[in-house]
Amino acid sequence: MRKVVLVTGASSGVGLALCKRLLEEDDELHVCLACRNMSKAEAVSADLLASHPAAEVSIVQVDVSNLKSVIRASSELKQRFQRLDYVYLNAGIMPNPQLNIKALFCGLFSRKVIHMFSTAEGLLTQEDKVTADGLQEVFETNVFGHFILIQELEPLLCHRDSPSQLIWTSSRNARKSNFHLEDIQHSRGQEPYSSSKYAVDLLSVALNRNFNPRGLYSSVVCPGTMVTNMTYGILPPLVWTLLLPIIWLLRFFANAFTLTPYNGTEALVWLFHQKPESLNPLTKYLSATTGFGSNYVATQKRPPLSTLAQGRLREGAGVHVCVSAVSHSALSHFFSTI
């Protein structure tokens, strides 16, 4: 029986590169592209099948920033498949990123210049908005929509005799300082992307605690610093042209500069070959690239759930907008999980 891999955000960037690399590893996989834009997904599907005619490629339409879309897609997947072996929770947004020029120039003349470029810590702010579900868009897209997807797909994922893997795309930009229990959606802050990725790290630990005995394992990955559709708009093209030679040189001092989506998938592909029960649930897996362009996987210890043990999230914590009944019920389940 073919193994089934579900990839969200599969029509571009890391998601697209991942699908190509997975089929290079095993061209008998069934890869299901979970995408918002069907025309893009259909073009990707045709391209993948042309390169790997022995594979199976299917499409499910889903917008993880819309709970009705998530539930509809989950229902469709449960009709198609008996199980899912791998779910790559990759779709994400960083809306309207703005560069903090002051922080950039201060960092350039500090000892933290390499760390600053590696993590973008303090460099980027974003303008968030509220979705139709009454939730912050970055939180719902990067965290909550995927959580509901997992919840709805439980029957396809929990099999003790043959474990399934959840693999989240996180970030080195996931900073504890940007995550606050009283504002879990980061509705009052300016760095919702960083906050959402820290929430992903914590949620993955909680999912392992709750689901490992049932045969479901969760890991998080950082693909590194890349030039993709998400990052390219941060600076004018001319500035990127001037910066790229500098970033290539920085590779000799820091491993985070993977630069391309292909390189960024290194850790995601590595996890595809691992036995999930042998992995440390407190480890974040980092795609890394040497100064000479060789790819490898590095590791970083993640925070334990003691961060949340300081006070159990009460029902509705961090929700400062009027949410729908469906959203409120789902949020309650989210809070009880972590």
Catalytic residue list: 193
Q: Give yes or no for a contact between 57 and 33, defined as CB atoms under 8 angstroms apart.
A: yes
Residue 218's nearest CA partner among 153, 166, 280 is 166
- Supply 282's token pair: 């407190």
Return the CA Rg of the chain: 19
Q: Give yes or no for a contact between 186 and 128, defined as CB atoms under 8 angstroms apart.
A: yes
What's the Cα-to-Cα distance from 68 to each of 152, 229, 274, 324, rounded to whole Å?
Answer: 12, 26, 34, 11
- Supply 232's token pair: 């390219």
Q: Give yes or no for a contact between 86 and 218, defined as CB atoms under 8 angstroms apart.
A: no
